[in-house]
Amino acid sequence: MTSDLASCLWHQTCQENPAFPELTGEAQADLVVIGGGYTGCAAALKAAEMGASVRLIEADAIGCGGSGRNVGLANAGLWLPPEDINAALGPETGSRLSELLAGAPAMVFSLIEKHAIQCEPERSGTLHCAHAPGGLKDLQRRHAQLRAIGAPVELLPREEAIQRTGSEAVHGALFDPRAGTIQPLAYVRGLARAAASAGAQLHSGTPATGISRSGSGWQVATPKGSLRARHLIMATNAYARGITGYDAPQVIPVHYFQAATDPLPAPLLEKILPGKEGCWDTALIMSSWRLDQAGRLVIGGMGALNHFGSTLHRSWLPRKLAALYPDLKETELKSHWHGRIAMTTEHLPKILDLHGGFACFGYSGRGIGPGTLFGTAMAEALLSGGQSRLPVPPAQDHAIPFAGLRSAYYETGATLTHLISDR
Q: What angle do CA 14, 18, 22 make, to 5 degrees?
A: 125
181 and 122 Cβ atoms separated by less than 8 Å: yes
The span from the CA of 287 to the CA of 295, in Å, is: 19
Q: CATH number of 5-420: 3.40.190.10, 3.50.50.60, 1.10.10.10, 3.90.950.10?
A: 3.50.50.60
- Percent of the chain with pLDDT strictly greater than 90: 88
pLDDT in the model for residue 331: 97
Q: Concatenated DSSP letters for 258-286?
A: EEEPSPPPHHHHTTSSTT--EEEE--SS-
Query: Does residue 122 register a pLDDT over 80?
Result: yes
The span from the CA of 285 to the CA of 44, in Å, is: 35
pLDDT in the model for residue 3: 46
pLDDT tier for residue 1 given thresholds of 50, 70 and 90: very low
pLDDT in the model for residue 396: 86
Q: Concatenated DSSP letters for 153-176?
A: -EEEPHHHHHHHHS-TT---EEEE
Secondary structure class of 55 (helix, strand, coil): strand
Bridge partners, 350 (sequence order): 361
289 and 73 Cβ atoms separated by less than 8 Å: no
Q: Concatenated DSSP letters for 39-51?
A: HHHHHHHHHHHTT
Query: Does residue 398 register a pLDDT over 90?
Result: no
pTM, rounded to two decimals: 0.96
Closest CA to 379 of 369, 389, 370: 389
- With b for 16 or more beta-carbon neighbours within 10 A and e for fewer, the 343-358 pattern comes to bbbebbbbbbebeebb
Q: What tens digit of pLDDT does each residue of 275-328 get?
A: 999 999 999 999 999 999 999 999 999 999 999 889 999 999 999 999 999 999
Distances (CA, A) of 227 to 114, 141, 150, 178, 199: 30, 49, 45, 40, 17
pLDDT in the model for residue 90: 97
CB neighbours of residue 25 within 10 Å? 8
Closest CA to 9 of 166, 186, 268: 186
pLDDT tier for residue 422 given thresholds of 50, 70 and 90: confident
227 and 53 Cβ atoms separated by less than 8 Å: no
Q: What tens digit of pLDDT does each residue of 132-176 get?
A: 999 999 999 999 999 999 999 999 999 999 999 999 999 999 999
The span from the CA of 275 to the CA of 181, in Å, is: 12
> Domain locations in the chain?
5-420
Secondary structure class of 118 (helix, strand, coil): coil
pLDDT in the model for residue 243: 97
The span from the CA of 240 to the CA of 223, in Å, is: 17
Work out the average pLDDT over 75-94: 95
